[in-house]
Structure 1
């Protein structure tokens, strides 16, 4: 009996010692590969990383964070069967991360990353569109909150379109998925715009941003730019399917079954409005039903639009004002103010339009589009806002000044902003004209609706 106990103690000691040795080796190799990853020596880091991953999978989250960097490098620098092995290894790493660190592995992020990797390498991994779509859909339905990556949102929608082309999804499913993804993009744009606006407010107060704040500002601007790109891309992908020829019979057929469904009505009206199908009687039917079921700022805007088309301008403007007053969410209110401004601008009610554009800017300073709209109105008013040829052309300086503000607050508009600034400055008085009038530094007041002034620049 004593012998058995002694044998057991020796065995236990041996096992404990072995585990201790293994644990020490894992910690040493963890430190080594982490140092190599920090200086981007991914190939050198691989063997130590693989040992720790296989021997001590729960030791540190760094196994999975660094492992992803190592394997992405391996994937990028390999081909064929070797590349496929690294792809499968990365997929396995994400699975293990979810097992050992579930609280640090949000499903909306990592399931989407899994299927994005499979999609990007679908020929090599031989995945079907159906399998890929189901994976993205699982991520979206399971953890919509964390399914935020712009590229994955685009791929998710792109796949449902491809599946419709294959006869595996209906047009209704495509429309529904477009609305799901588009609403998610809007949600994320609002999220990042709110965060960015806090930093812009600090800059406007001439306060210095910290290093961390500068980094976050760059990140927010990058996300907003990418969301802008994919929103445009999914809209283009839908274009051929969501024209009036398809939308009108589609919504006519389903109207009776959904005439009390606020979400369905909202999506139907929005898409009909977006695709300029408002001439059809169905549009008015949908708007009226939507307003009866769920009266809101949204419905009042659409009613105003209908009244505008009927020439009932005064009544329409009352509804526009009511719509603006009803909206309580700052981001949505900003979008609404911009839309109202666009309607009034189209009617050449420039002074009223500018009021709404400025409201939009106040509510969401990181959206530069109102600046471009105001600049365009200034430029179109040049002939009516000066008592001399020089002063009329001077309006373009004011337009250029306003257009420059757009790219300062909204990097997604940099190209458009530069294009308009170049155009306006070319139409403004030339250096020769400024030299002849000897008026550098002179203030020019515009007494028309613009009610602003500009200082003649030095030559």
Structure 2
């Protein structure tokens, strides 16, 4: 009896193993065909096999979901309007399946952003539901929330909900601050990487093909973030004008005059929008400095001193603010104010020092490069021992202006025009030939103290 039972169980286990082995073989065969077609972009042939793999072999390989995403996005791009929602929903399901079956090989925050964007793009769910999908991704992992398009969509949805009376204006302001800071953070990463490679180019070193591609990627991303920054500001629109901000904060001042966070936000927004002439700004700054003397309160006191025409006192406050400031972007803005103050006084060497400090804090601060370029151009007649050297200063000015446009696309048009104008004032081919200066290096004296290599003919 025992022998029969053992034989029976052995048979069951053998047949079960055979079935599993056969299933694995079927999965492997189907996957091979599907992946080959997908790799060749033969999506029509790959699609049914990918769908079968999702259903019958969901844990076979993460590649199923990688190719599945490409295929569904392609189908979505080519679908008729009435078919898009169903395909988009299938794409969302695919994202969720990947997260379920391959969590270790999937960025959860990135998937949540992709799901939220697919919902928005294809009108799946209402605006509240779409906003909550973005908000969940944002709250889970702000570091990974780097998509320029997703940052705009997230903010845009909140503004729409506020317009519909479902969110407070203060919610809009709070998210605006966070999204703007995130955009600046990503801009700075791109600009720093770009600046490093530009310096390598300027030093005459050859870039690898990978570095050339990185330059292109940095510039593309900087353009994307610049466009989104403009769109976010446009979406905020008149909500942040002085006419709306002053009544909003005046109404709440008494109950919040001891709340440092509220005072900081209110004073910061009025400062950012140049609403500093209203008495409310003085009240906010005074209360903030009393509650918590800080970089921000010193900055605002500097603005008030500047508005009163006391440039020396303003400079003292700005320097205090820069020393106390810990936020890199805000520190850069303060350094720009200090630099502009020195520039206006004609103290170009000190101004350049602070423009460079602004760039160290925020590499995408293209306006700092442009200001240095302008100071060099203004100094051309005073720096150089002969007419050729004096005009050579314009080459250096043009280089700084061109760099301004590369790290900050928002000023690229003005920067490029400025660079072209300065090159037009520099020695031309005939001048270089007559002076036999091609390829030579000129050391520019006075306060500039830099060198420039004369172009080869």
- Same fold, TM exceeding 0.5? yes
- Cα distance change of structure 1 residues 307 and 446 upon mapping to structure 2, 3 Å threshold: farther
Q: Pick the aligned partner of 1:340 from 320, 338, 341.
A: 338
| Structure 1 unpaired stretches of 5+ | none
* Cα deviation code 1:107-128 (max 9, x no counterpart): 4311221111121121xx4x32
How much does 1:91 deviate? 0.7
Q: Does 1:10 align with 2:11?
A: yes
Q: Equivalent residue for 2:54?
A: 53
Instruction: Say whether the 8 Å CA contact 2:192–2:363 is kept in structure 1.
Output: no
TM-score (norm 1): 0.83
Q: Equivalent residue for 1:149?
A: 147
Residues 7-406 of structure 1: pairs in structure 2 closer than 5 A: 7-122=8-123, 125=124, 127-193=125-191, 212=210, 214-327=212-325, 333-345=331-343, 349-365=347-363, 367-379=365-377, 396-406=394-404
Instruction: Say whether the 8 Å CA contact 1:440–1:458 is kept in structure 2.
Output: no
Instruction: Say whether the 8 Å CA contact 2:187–2:225 is kept in structure 1.
Output: yes
Instruction: Say whether the 8 Å CA contact 1:221–1:410 is kept in structure 2.
Output: no
Pairs aligned (count): 454
Between stretches 266-275 and 90-99, larger displacement belongs to: 266-275
| 2-structure distance, mates of 1:105, 1:361 | 36
| 2-structure distance, mates of 1:195, 1:457 | 26
- Cα distance change of structure 1 residues 103 and 384 upon mapping to structure 2, 3 Å threshold: same
| 2-structure distance, mates of 1:148, 1:226 | 11
How much does 1:152 deviate? 0.6
| 2-structure distance, mates of 1:14, 1:446 | 87
| 2-structure distance, mates of 1:308, 1:202 | 40
| 1-structure distance, mates of 2:312, 2:270 | 24
RMSD over aligned CA atoms reads: 3.8
- Cα distance change of structure 1 residues 361 and 182 upon mapping to structure 2, 3 Å threshold: closer
Between stretches 257-266 and 155-164, larger displacement belongs to: 257-266
Instruction: Say whether the 8 Å CA contact 2:392–2:427 is kept in structure 1.
Output: no
* Cα deviation code 1:213-246 (max 9, x no counterpart): 5545544443333222212221122121110000
Secondary structure of the residue that 1:113 maps to in structure 2?
A: helix
How much does 1:62 deviate? 1.1
| 1-structure distance, mates of 2:10, 2:202 | 72
| 1-structure distance, mates of 2:208, 2:390 | 44
How much does 1:250 deviate? 0.9
| Structure 2 unpaired stretches of 5+ | none
Instruction: Say whether the 8 Å CA contact 1:365–1:409 is kept in structure 2.
Output: yes
- Cα distance change of structure 1 residues 429 and 114 upon mapping to structure 2, 3 Å threshold: closer
| 2-structure distance, mates of 1:202, 1:419 | 24
How much does 1:180 deviate? 2.4
